[in-house]
Structure 1
């Protein structure tokens, strides 16, 4: 009986985590560049149960296998391309990323599974920014603006990095911020007429630093649309190479890839599964109460 309580409780915990993940997806449905999460559950190993027979033959007689419930294994993000929304704002940028790996064909969810069952996720291109502590972070939210010093920053004031690894500056010869510019699909900044490249104070052409995450699921959410990489995994994030299929779209933002209708269906499913496990626990509770307070008196 106690084993059944543990199994039902494990199911409730798993469904609660699934419900929390779906709720977070729905809450960020209007966040540019947000990638929906998916809570994965795995069952505990099955246990072989048997009964011990009395008499001379006391060898156990197998009864069958019994499942011990499920547990939440991990939470992964689905890094599929979100729809592009045109804003006609020159400070809005979207990345169209379709990086391919030789010998692999990725499915619609962005993963490749080989004959041995090993999964490989499609690399993802990201913007590179600095957080409040001046540490390098990554983002898919391309809603930028130019501050009073001419730095390109995101909505939280985090500096966007240029190809030289320094905060991207958009200033003219007099040191004043530039608000009229064009950006090519390679992330290069041109003047308002789209003819001459803009130069940084060192005389180098200005361009966005685009990073390539070999395994996007190694990126951890930090809040405010920022992603970070764990120490030791830095080598899995490099700059986008010339041959990578990545385009920058000026005047667009990438919408979240959350499917609102499917998320509501999944939320109701998680809620019903949670309630079913709750009913099981209530049933066990009543049975134990009856055994202790009524049967135990006899």
Structure 2
């Protein structure tokens, strides 16, 4: 069977995956804190027809190896952790991270810690600072931020300190923490704007915002998705044409096989 047919099949699968990633990017163009994905391809092993030879003492030059590539495969699906634009909301409990790092939230049912760039925060009925799913927001020591009750006013500084005024008394002892990873691209997406640490993301460092390499917090704003629609539509055209070209390889290979079969009638 022709090798080109199997190369075409592999190419079609790869471009289908690329289209899946592009579709997910476009679907999340307005998702707060979303980071777009990127597909990377690499070539498969090449079949050796003949090896290389060195120049001889009789004056003949060397020859290069002859190889036939066997197609392409998926190399990686990267998460592009570039900064998204900040959208002003004017809401006090909306915070955006300008720079590196993630907000830390804890699932109250499993106590598992997740990480997010989506800063639309809320207060629950007990005065705990939570995200939209009711996960506790953590400070730089890994403890939940609680007991924000009966406040006359609340404000959040660039360093994450929460200034709570109650009956004319200021309390700014609470502070939102930022998680920084050696390899943020190694985090695993788990849905709901959340990430989970993996063995390749490195050891998490819990830091104070705007300190030690952590980004600062911008109150009254949210980070938008870093998806660029013009780029995604261009990549969609490239993927579509790549898929069509690989399907044409299969069609042409089929025509050649048909001619071979028709040689004997």
Specify the alignment match of 2:85 in structure 1: 83
Closer, same or farther: CA 44–134 of 1 in aligned 2, 3 Å: same
Q: Please state how far the C-alpha of 1:195 moved relative to its aligned partner.
A: 8.2
Work out the CA distance in 2 between the residues paired with 1:270 and 1:218. Answer: 25
Work out the CA distance in 1 between the residues paired with 2:228 and 2:195. Answer: 22
Deviations 1:204-242 (A, max 9, x none): x11112111111111000001000012x45752111253
Specify the alignment match of 1:268 in structure 2: 237
Specify the alignment match of 2:260 in structure 1: 291
Specify the alignment match of 1:236 in structure 2: 203
Deviations 1:118-176 (A, max 9, x none): xxxxxx3100001353200100000111111111111222221123422211424xxx5
**Contact 2:207 2:214 (8 Å CA) reproduced:** no
What is the number of residues matched between the two proteins?
250
Work out the CA distance in 2 between the residues paired with 1:62 and 1:45. Answer: 17
Q: Please state how far the C-alpha of 1:4 moved relative to its aligned partner.
A: 0.7
For structure 2, the residue ranges without an aligned partner over 5 or more in a row are: 51-62
Q: Please state how far the C-alpha of 1:262 moved relative to its aligned partner.
A: 0.7
Q: Say yes or no: does 1:19 pair with 2:19.
A: yes
TM-score (norm 2): 0.86
Q: Say yes or no: does 1:220 pair with 2:196.
A: no
Closer, same or farther: CA 133–296 of 1 in aligned 2, 3 Å: farther
**Contact 1:49 1:62 (8 Å CA) reproduced:** no
Superposition RMSD on alpha carbons, in Å? 2.4
Q: Please state how far the C-alpha of 1:179 moved relative to its aligned partner.
A: 7.1
Closer, same or farther: CA 62–219 of 1 in aligned 2, 3 Å: closer
Query: Which of 228, 233, 247 is equivalent to 1:278?
Result: 247
Work out the CA distance in 2 between the residues paired with 1:90 and 1:68. Answer: 57
**Contact 1:33 1:256 (8 Å CA) reproduced:** yes
